Amino acid sequence: MTSDRGPAGEKVPTTDTTTSTEQVFRRVLVPIVDASQAGHAAELARRAGAREARVLHLNLHETFNGRRFPIETDSDASYVVEAAVFELRMAGIAASGQLRQALVGKAAEEIVADAAAWGADLIVLGAPRRTGFASRLFGSVTLRILKAAHCPVMVASSTDSVHTSPVAAKQYAGTRS
């Protein structure tokens, strides 16, 4: 496309100033807590325009008397990763999975470090699990990630997990044509 005339009276090519999320967010890190979030995570990654996604599940451990105790079994943790990778691939997104061990209270740091090491363009988080009061009392993984992340973070709404505003829906529909 060209505009009518540039400042010197010559034809100047115009550039499309609208940026599609499909071009911006190619590598998306998707940390998930349990297998029930797999479908939702895939939908959010698809809406973000992800071409490649990495599922991260942290098998959290508690420390008691100097010993670590896992909160879930290794097979349960592996299932969470496999379910999310499957859902992402069914959504047409190239996906891989990562299972890591982390201490309770260090989840946000692990997620941010993994996003930086992998070179993620976006971190997609599910809805916060704690209420506002509990977050103030105990802290919030979501808030710690938002403060420390080197890349944009998408957080699902707690009321409607895949809700999009009408304006955002129009913009998204316009980029797909």
pLDDT the model gives residue 174: 43
Q: Look at the pTM and tell me if it is higher than 0.75.
A: no
**Could you state, in chain order, the average pLDDT of each consecutive group of 10 residues for the chain (177 residues)?**
44 45 74 87 88 94 89 93 94 94 92 95 78 54 89 76 40 41
Domain ranges of the chain: 22-176
Q: According to the model, what pLDDT value does residue 97 have?
A: 95
Q: Which two tokens stand for residue 130?
A: 């704690």
Say what the pLDDT of residue 140 is: 77
Record the tokens describing residue 151, joined without a space: 């890349």
Paired with 120 in beta bridges are none
pLDDT recorded at residue 104? 87
In sequence order, the 6+-apart residues with CB closer than 8 A to the CB of 97 are: 54, 55, 56, 57, 81, 82, 84, 85
CATH class of the domain comprising 22-176 = alpha beta
